[in-house]
Structure 1
Amino acid sequence: MASGSGVVKMIEVDGALMQRILGTHKPLDGTKFDPKPLLDAVEDIILRATVDGSDSRAFQGDLSYKMDHLIYEAIKKVSCELSCKCSGAVNSREVAIGLLHLLGSYSWEAKAVITLAAFAANYGSYFLVSQLSGSNDPFVKSVAFLQLSPNPLPQTQLKLKPDALKVIKAIFHLTKYIAQVVTFQSQYTMLTSIFTAHEDDLAKAVYLSIKSTVACASLLMNTDALTNEYRLTTNEAQELSYLSIEMENIRRKLEIQMENWKIRIDGIIPEDYDRLYRMLNYITYSDNTEILRALLCWNESSATIYDCSRKIQVDINVLKGKRVWVYISKLEHMIFSKSEISILSEKYNESRKYWSRSTDEFEIVWVPIVDASILWNVELQKYLEQTRDSMLWYSITNPSKLSKAVIKYMKEVWKFQDKSLLVVLDRQGKFVESFGVDSIRIIPTKEPFQSSSLKVYGLWKGTIELLENSIGPEILEWINAPKYIFLFGGEDTNWIERFIVATQQVGWAGKLDIVMVYVGKRSMNWTTYERKISKQMRSDKKIFVLNEGKYNSFWATLQNISGTKMEMEEMETLVSFDAGGEEWGAVFHVSFPPMAKAKGEVIVDVLNNYAQWAGQYKEDSFVIALDKKIKEVNIYGNYRLKFSSTTWSSPKKVQCPVCDKTMEAVISYHCPSNH
């Protein structure tokens, strides 16, 4: 460990030595790795060997981690180097430089972590064997004899001196911080030139980590050879002290640099965010390339995306002039969402068959978001590649390089949170609409990626959510079944019975899986609602009646619709039916959003005549056919919708349920007295 003169000098990394260190660094992208599993194992070994080996606390690392064979081989080679070259007097500088050459193709943090892991493997091995040295088992005695020392077997466990253990802990903390610095740098490529200017400091930190590891390895070999009787020389103790000081100094320097970089980035993100916000909201472009570059390739040297079907990188101009669907999801969420990709792929394939003109063209680009607390590593990279290779569309090339300003915009403006989101951009790159990926499930195959379809879906989704919030999760169960859901309301007992009979007959004739939900009337109190529910309704499994809480919730929720800006025409029509004092029925099904609905006698008559008109609409689903027939019958005369001024605020615009034209607003007065 000591120099030839026997005097230990303060560790200096001068210009010539730094050139030697930097000259060993020839990294290859393919040799990067995840440092966390190795650091977890190293920490566990240090902890247990430092105490007494009897610590029973569970290992917090990931023992299921599959180490790359190249990393494993590198650890074995460094382990051998430490065992062979650290016996007796050692020139720790030259051994450290030799290890840097050996690990030349690895990234800076990999050099430090691999070297420390190799030392921990040696230390742990000797420690385990020393624990067995007192055994009476001849086999164990023989193994310990060959592994440890030619001297008489020690009766106590092999331990490094406290001074050495203190240095080992300092090495560990420095190495762990080096890994954090490199990970941080990989996430902010816009500061690459600044990071490069400080590479000398990172290289010095790695050199000191490895040099200190070599010094501790030398102590380990001497401790092993001389058993626990070995005592540190003055030079050895002095060098360990100097190494501890130097490692602390370089770590503090890295921490200061990291803080400065964070301040710099905190200033950049708002600037980038403001620029991005202006681009997406105030500037009009002739096509979508500028906006797509900003969203998908911000601050990257080349504007490329990944073609998942061909498994190659392509220029972002392949999206020029097309409608683009930005498919945003958390990368870790995709582990549990294979069905999401499957359904999206099915709809994507089918919809492309119906392209009839260039204006129908669209593309999907997957943008996986990685949580800021998760360090990008080889395992994540492999999972990313496996996931995107199962897709048919495009993907960004590197999620870890996605601009923080872009992520902020997606969360704050597009409201991306935990669930996957589809964001529609027009041919100029302007925002059109955003929807949850589950929207694709219930939109017709021919038009899932048409904006008009999603506009209808957006309103329909609000209706479903309203029903779920008021009636309960049964709504979702019926939709997923899928069942035809018949809502009906009113207070005329005779009409209720006729509606139920007509619905049952249609269910039998059309072989439809139906469920009926009686919701009563807004002005009806709970006691009256209960009286309207006959024994037949309670016993019929296809009829769902509300409990008091759900009944009150349903009408309270509807009461709030017209007072908001929500364009929920389907529910507003039902509100009007109720306000008009009439019975009504409505039918919907998961296969398509429109709700077929009509006032009391109309819908009963149409349902009773099902056998006569069913054959006219063979190409349509039942709900669409029913809706068409209701409009075709057109026995409404002068159709009116009514809203109570005491409770409801009337919507600004309402479409006629018969002809879809915008209805005129008129004021009328109604006396509540029954005369």
Structure 2
Amino acid sequence: MANFHIDENAMMELVCATHNPDGTNINSNVVLSAIETILNSEKVVDKIATEEMLEEFDLKFRELSLKIQHLCFELTSKSSSIIDRHLTTICLLSTLSAYSWEAKMVLMLAAFSISYGKLNIFSGQRYRKGLTKQLVIVTQRANPTASNDPNPIDNLIKCAMDLTKCIVEINQSSSYSLPQSIISVFLPFASYWVGRSIACAVAYCARLPMTNIKFESELNIITTKIKDILTTCSPALEAKRADESYQTLQDALFNNSSDKVTVLKLILNVIDDNEISLSTWTNGRLEKIGLNFFDADKKVELLLTSGVDISNERIQFLNEFYNDSNSAPYILWIPIVDDHAAWSIEQYKEFRDKIWFGIMDDPHKRIARSFTRFVKGNLLPHFQIGEEPILVSLDQQGRIIHTNAMHMIQTWNPGYIEDRELEVQARNNIIPFIEKVMKERSQGLDSLISDIDEQISHLALEVDQKIQAWENKINNKIYEMREHSNMYSSERENALCKKEKDWSLGLVVGKIDYTVTYWIENESCIFLYGGNNIKWVREFTSKVHEVSLKTESDIELIYVGKNEKVRASVDEEQMSNLLESPYHAWRFWTRLQSALLLRINYLNAAN
């Protein structure tokens, strides 16, 4: 035992020879939970409590009871003799030949937990956690200078449990398949060393008077072996968890979810709804909020960017959109970055102070990797130019109803998109009309019914009140629909594209410049021009003015470029009109681009 050398090739042949599964399954998670209760529960402090746990275990797993008892017998009978722990392990695996590798590991741990529980009963010692107090004493004798060190048996069994839980969890994935290397090599390898750890631990307990340095050396070697296997399997477990997290998020965003808060919890790595994870500006102050802020009526848009390098013009535009009215959606900024050093704290704070909408307190920590993967695989290729931000719309269930509403809000103003003027049209007073009609139909009845005019007036008033009540009911429904529904959807965008018959300058300019709007209404001849070359601008405007004079035509000119020097010269030399500011020029060009993309996308979809 001093050298503890094992021919791993020969060992693997021997271990694989014991494996003859017949499809027998066990509920590994439930059994593992019961094992942990026995091994770790603080209730295991006296004989009665332990006996009750063992009885409960026996009742819950009656079908496995005989097999586990058989394993317990093998462990205890061989541990009291001088039989090699290697042979004990092979014997245990042979006894479990019909089970899968992970089931073997679970059942061997179950047998150990039963042995551990019985040892607690027989020891008569009150030890709060770990194995018995006697084992601690033995450990201290073996190494007097390390009396405060963890019990080596506790450490060994914990490692065996961790490895078993890792492999059980990997095998329970419906969408993730284990790499062949783990199936063919590491599962048999792991089963052997879990069994070896249990055989060694039971032998250690049974041979207390004979415990020595060599025994503890074996414990340490086995612990190291198991840790090495766990290190090898951990990446597969992480890959499986990442895949399941991605599938869960994808299903919630595209198919169904209970509510948008549930989806936001998946996106932002938040467990508690009340956890403070976001900030928003309220009445000029930065207020900390949790996901419970997103109540049933709150409409959500996710602003996805590649960092904090968003232009000031776009920030101004989004701030204006966000502040347009109470019915506008709540914008939440989420940066999609791989590099955690993409920006400094100072850059982050500077960006945070510019925006009026929601921002994450710690984006690097908060954003789930599964969401970053989802965005790159499903959202960024759609309807985007370069590294421009996108605006993702969610409905009240947290499902995506538009993969990028940015072009939609840049083309039409919020009031038009939300159709805020949609309601039952106002009507004239209907009472005189009803009275007139009813009096004509009841002419001559006043000699028989003296109060006929009074009854007609009452009827007209009653009809008017019912019509008014119906109008209010319909308008309230429209209001509730508008308040509770996110109108920034692909469906609404298609409806607006279909409704837009005239894709002209009027759509592009909108309310950006009222002078141009006035020219359009008067059917003037309009030249819009840009450029950064002031010499060309002078020549062009001069030629247009010359043509206008010669032809006696009314030609209007407006500079729509963003070059500050050219703008200053155009204004100073009065060469033409110009848009109010560089921001308005940015709005013009982005609106033109968005309208073009919307039109192309709509025509492609409509074939």
TM-score interval (norm. to shorter): 0.3 to 0.5
Structure having the larger proportion of residues in helix: 2
